[in-house]
Amino acid sequence: MTSKVKQRIVLIIALLSYFLTALSTSIVITGLTKISADLHLDQLGLSWVQNAYGLAFGSFILLSGRLSDLLGRRRVLNMALVIFSIGSLIAGFTDQTVVMIAARFLQGIGAAILAPTSMALLMDYFEGPALVRAIAWYSSISGLGASVGLVLGGVLASYLSWRIGFYLNVPVALVMLCLSVVTLKKSRVRHESFDWIGTVLSVIGSGILVYAVNGAKNGVLFLIIALILLSTFVGYEKKNQAPIMPLSIFHSRQRVLAYSIRALFVGAMMGFWFFISEYLQEVLHATPLLTGFAFLPMTLTLFITAILVPRLIMNWDNKHTLILANVLLVIGFLWIWIGGNHGYLTTVIMPMILFGIGQGLGLTPLTNFGIADVPTAQTGVASGMVNTAHQLGSVLGLAIMVNISSALVNAQNIAGQFRIAMFVGLILTIVCTGLSLMIHVEKK
């Protein structure tokens, strides 16, 4: 097998891995009504069908990056695919609420391992301009997977069965497993002492943080507990000789800024996805299927931009590409906030196009900054940090937008809540723009 063929297969494995993690987040959204009816779920149980996946994803993602550094990419990737497939299969078959929630949690663990491991694969097998192109595709696939999930979930729930959405993961994962065994090189296990205490602190602290901001009762108490645990985790990692999260990864100012910007950037976009879905269905009275198709302007522009962005970065640079991306997001949120509620054509389409271009432009340089100049032995950790910022940012950003809009506007006023949330998104993206200007790129 030639090196070019191997690179293509590795790229397919990485992209499909990340695609599945995004697809499994959104494919459930447009099928929640049917899932609720079939499993006789109340509102609390239904919310946990969605939240269990995000809870596991956010809790285990930091651990997963370190695991692939210690145990090898192929071994950890194959383990993730098996875990993800088992969770998908159980979720498709079950008629029990508790089993469904447990299956979604298992899916989330598999996804938490897949995301950083797939990015680390790209860093292992690509370099130079080829790595820039691979990262561009990887960065765009999350938005693409989420968009496809909304459409596919609506189609399956409306015409076939929501269960098929879970079953489809299994054959795809099996094909990827075969490709992994044939293509990826075996890595020796690095016999280093494992940071069990740091692992427990990070998993429980991150999990409680995700739980706290997802509308838990006594949320403030859980938030305080999470912050105490995570502060203890950082303090412990400073003294540990073999930490799960080497704090040296934060010695680079541009990496710290990249993680911070990514969290705010993704948080604003996740809030948009949530509120625009509600706006389309509750205010414009679109069906779940039409709601899924309504995202096509953003999906198509994101996909096209992702193809073009490597050339733009090479001709320009990461910093200015990122600034442009954030400016487009600011204009999009400003458009919605000023424009009011005048229907799909005037309120939604143009911001969606701007958001599609902005995401296509922004996620690649953010990824490049997040993994820049990282030692080979820490590429998995760097990938884990990029995905941790992405996942926790999406949870925290959505929570901020939901809580502020709910506090200021009556729950029955969906259009009013939508406008307030878009104003919060505007503030978040303005902060992103300011932080992007602070990135200093050293000339080599």
Q: What confidence tens digit (pLDDT) does each residue in 156-189 have? A: 877 888 888 889 899 999 999 999 888 887 766 6
Domain count for the chain, please give it. 3
b/e 73-94 (16+ beta carbons within 10 angstroms → b)? bbbbbbbbbebbbbbbbbbbeb
Q: Between the ranges 116-125, 152-161, 333-342, where is the mean pLDDT highest?
A: 116-125
Shared domain check, 83 and 150 = yes
Shared domain check, 359 and 229 = no
Q: Report yes or no: 259 and 370 within 8 Å, Cβ to Cβ.
A: yes
* Phi, psi (degrees; rounded to nearest 5) at 188: -75, 145
The CATH code of the domain that includes 155 is 1.20.1250.20
Return the number of other C-beta atoms located less than 10 Å from residue 169's C-beta: 23
Instruction: Say what the pTM is.
Output: 0.80
Shared domain check, 171 and 232 = no
Shared domain check, 443 and 430 = yes
CA nearest neighbour of 108 among 80, 150, 137, 146: 80
Query: Please, which pLDDT band fits residue 323 given cuts at 50, 70 and 90?
Result: very high
Share in percent of the chain as helix, strand, coil (round to 5): 85, 0, 15
Q: Which range marks the domain in which residue 32 is found?
A: 1-191
Residues whose CB is less than 8 angstroms from the CB of residue 159 and which lie 6 or more positions away in sequence, other chains included: none
In a 10 Å sphere around its CB, with 0-12 CB exposed, 13-18 middle and 19+ buried, how is residue 42 labelled? exposed
Tokens representing 36 are 């609720």
190-222 per-position pLDDT tens digit: 656 667 788 888 888 877 887 777 666 777 888
Shared domain check, 238 and 263 = no
Q: Report yes or no: 74 and 13 within 8 Å, Cβ to Cβ.
A: no
What is the three-class DSSP state of 133? helix
Q: Single out the residue in 204, 228, 243 at which a domain terminates.
A: 243
Q: How many CA atoms lie within 13 A of 103 on its CB side?
A: 21
Shared domain check, 259 and 111 = no
Tokens representing 57 are 């994803």
DSSP secondary structure of 378-407 = GHHHHHHHHHHHHHHHHHHHHHHHHHHHHH
pLDDT at 47 over 70: no
Could you tell me how many helices (H) and strands (E) the chain has, helices first? 17, 0
Shared domain check, 129 and 27 = yes
Shared domain check, 354 and 232 = no
Shared domain check, 234 and 161 = no
Q: Report yes or no: 388 and 61 within 8 Å, Cβ to Cβ.
A: yes
